C-alpha cells in the first residue's frame, strides 16, 4: 500500500532522440511538488543507438528479444542505487505511435523492472488514454502545471520540450487543478532534434549538431522550409501528436543542400513548427521555458527568440533542470496513477474525459 501524503518517486525516461536514459527523484503527493532529489543519466553507446534506431516503427509482436533486453537492462542500470524511493515510474522506449490506428508502443515490461529493482513500478502510461480516444501524448503537461505552481508563475507560461519531437504545454497557473477547464493546452509542435540528429549521423557520423555549430554556418533555404510547413499536420487543430518518424521526408527536402545549409534549414524547420504552434495558445504566454536537448542549441534558441513575441528562456532561468523534466514527469505521474488521480485530459491529449493511465506492478 502506497503511503499517504508525500511520496519519494523515481522516474525514468528514454526519449525519441535515442541518446540515453534520464532518471530523477522528486518528492510529491501527486498534486504539488515538495522537492527534487538525485538525478542520473545512462547514455546509449553507438551500437545501442543503432539497435534502437533499427527497431523504430516496430510493434509488440515484431520486436526482438535483444531489443527488449537492451531497453530493460539499460533502464535497470540507470534506475538502481537510489535510496529511500517508494515508487518508480518506467516509461519504456517508444518504438511506434499511431493513435487512432494501431495504438502506441512503449517497449519494456514494468513487472520485470519491478522484480529487478525490488520496487513498485508504474508503467504503460499511454495505452489507456489511446483506448479512450486520446493521442496518448504528450503526458508531461500535468507535471508542467505543477511546475508552474512551483516556480510561482502568476500568468500564463508555456513549457516547450525540444526532444526528438517538440511538444508545447500552455499553462494557466491560476486554475486549481490541471484537469480544470482552461488550465492546459498541450500538443506536439512537430519534429525537433530527431531529424537533425539523423542528418548528422548519415552525413558526418556524429550523433547531433553540437551547440548548433554546423547550422550556424549555414543558411535556411526558404523553398525547403515552405514545403515543410505545407504539411497537413500544421493545419490540424490540437490536441495532436506525432511519431518520431512522421516527418522523415525532411531529409529528402534537404538532400541537395550542403551540410551546413541542410542543418540550418532543418533547425529552421523545427523552430518554425514551434512558431506555428504558438498560434493555438489561448492567450500569449508571459514567457516560453525550454527544456530538452534543443535548449542547448544556441542556433535553435536564437531562431525561436527571433520568431516569438515573448522571452524564450532555458528552464534553468526558472530554477529547474531542463535535462530531467521528462524523467521527473514520469515520477510525478507514477504517484498520480498509484493514488488514482488523472494523468491526462481532453485539453492535453484529446481523450474523451480525464483519465489516469498506467499499470502498477509490485515485485513478485
Place of cell 518517486: 9
CA distance 196 to 215: 10
Q: Are residues 303 and 209 in the same domain?
A: yes
Q: Are residues 211 and 296 in the same domain?
A: yes
Q: Are residues 158 and 82 in the same domain?
A: no
The residue ranges of the chain whose pLDDT is under 70 are 1
Identify whether 1 is part of a domain. Answer: no
Identify whether 312 is part of a domain. Answer: yes
Q: Are residues 127 and 238 in the same domain?
A: no
| Grid coordinates given for 207 | 550523433
CA distance 143 to 52: 27
Q: Are residues 243 and 118 in the same domain?
A: no
Q: Are residues 130 and 175 in the same domain?
A: no
pLDDT of residue 1: 60
Identify whether 27 is part of a domain. Answer: yes
Identify whether 350 is part of a domain. Answer: no
Q: Are residues 157 and 120 in the same domain?
A: no
Identify whether 83 is part of a domain. Answer: yes
Range of the domain at 166: 152-318
Q: Are residues 92 and 160 in the same domain?
A: no
CA dihedral 296, 298, 304, 310 (to 10 degrees): 80
Global pTM reads 0.94
pLDDT of residue 205: 95
CA distance 125 to 139: 8
Identify whether 228 is part of a domain. Answer: yes
CA distance 1 to 179: 26
CA distance 91 to 114: 13
pLDDT of residue 18: 87
Q: Are residues 205 and 168 in the same domain?
A: yes
The total number of structural domains that make up the chain:
2
Identify whether 141 is part of a domain. Answer: no
Buried b (16+ CB within 10 A) or exposed e, 337-360: bbeebbbbbbbbbbbeebbbbbbb
Q: Are residues 163 and 283 in the same domain?
A: yes
φ/ψ region of 84 (left if φ > 0, alpha if ψ in -120 to 50, else beta) reads left
Residue range 149-174, pLDDT digits in tens: 999 999 999 999 998 899 999 999 99
Q: Are residues 187 and 234 in the same domain?
A: yes
Q: Are residues 253 and 337 in the same domain?
A: no
What's the CATH code of the domain at 118? 3.30.420.40
Closest CA to 295 of 318, 261, 328: 318
**Straight-line distance from the first to the last Cα atom of the chain, in angstroms, rounded to the nearest whole number:** 15
Identify whether 142 is part of a domain. Answer: no
Q: If you count them, how many residues does the chain have?
A: 364
Amino acid at each position: 500500500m502506497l503511503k499517504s501524503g508525500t511520496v519519494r518517486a523515481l522516474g525514468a525516461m528514454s526519449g525519441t532522440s535515442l541518446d540515453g536514459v534520464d532518471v530523477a527523484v522528486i518528492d510529491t503527493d501527486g498534486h504539488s511538488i515538495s522537492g527534487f532529489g538525485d538525478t542520473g543519466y545512462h547514455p546509449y553507446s553507438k551500437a545501442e543507438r543503432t539497435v534502437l534506431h533499427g527497431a523504430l516503427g516496430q510493434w509488440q509482436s515484431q520486436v526482438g528479444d535483444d531489443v527488449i533486453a537492451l531497453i530493460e537492462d539499460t533502464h535497470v542500470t540507470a534506475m538502481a542505487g537510489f535510496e529511500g524511493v517508494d515508487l518508480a515510474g518506467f516509461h519504456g522506449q517508444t518504438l511506434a505511435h499511431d493513435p487512432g490506428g494501431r495504438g502506441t508502443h512503449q517497449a519494456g515490461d514494468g513487472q520485470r523492472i519491478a522484480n529487478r529493482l525490488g520496487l513498485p513500478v508504474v508503467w504503460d502510461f499511454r495505452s489507456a488514454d489511446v483506448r479512450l480516444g486520446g493521442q496518448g501524448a504528450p503526458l508531461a503537461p500535468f507535471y508542467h502545471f505543477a511546475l508552474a505552481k512551483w516556480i510561482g508563475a502568476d500568468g500564463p507560461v508555456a513549457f516547450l520540450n525540444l526532444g526528438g519531437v517538440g511538444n508545447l504545454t500552455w499553462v494557466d497557473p491560476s486554475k486549481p487543478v490541471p484537469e480544470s477547464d482552461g488550465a492546459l493546452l498541450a500538443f506536439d509542435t512537430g519534429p525537433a532534434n530527431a531529424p537533425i540528429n539523423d542528418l548528422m549521423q548519415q552525413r558526418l557520423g556524429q550523433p547531433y549538431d553540437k551547440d548548433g555549430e554546423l547550422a550556424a554556418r549555414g543558411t535556411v533555404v526558404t523553398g525547403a522550409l515552405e514545403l515543410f510547413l505545407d504539411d497537413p499536420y500544421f493545419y490540424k487543430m490540437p490536441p495532436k501528436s506525432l511519431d518520431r518518424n512522421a516527418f522523415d521526408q525532411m531529409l529528402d527536402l534537404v538532400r541537395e543542400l550542403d551540410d551546413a545549409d541542410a542543418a540550418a534549414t532543418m533547425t529552421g524547420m523545427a523552430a518554425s513548427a514551434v512558431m506555428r504552434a504558438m498560434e493555438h495558445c489561448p492567450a500569449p504566454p508571459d514567457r516560453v521555458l525550454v527544456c530538452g536537448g534543443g535548449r542547448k542549441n544556441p542556433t535553435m534558441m536564437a531562431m525561436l527568440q527571433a520568431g516569438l513575441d515573448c522571452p524564450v528562456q532555458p528552464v534553468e532561468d526558472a530554477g529547474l533542470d531542463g535535462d530531467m523534466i521528462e524523467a521527473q514527469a514520469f515520477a510525478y505521474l507514477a504517484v498520480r496513477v498509484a493514488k488514482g488521480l488523472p494523468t491526462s485530459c481532453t485539453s492535453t491529449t484529446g481523450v474523451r474525459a480525464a483519465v489516469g493511465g498506467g499499470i502498477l506492478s509490485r515485485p513478485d
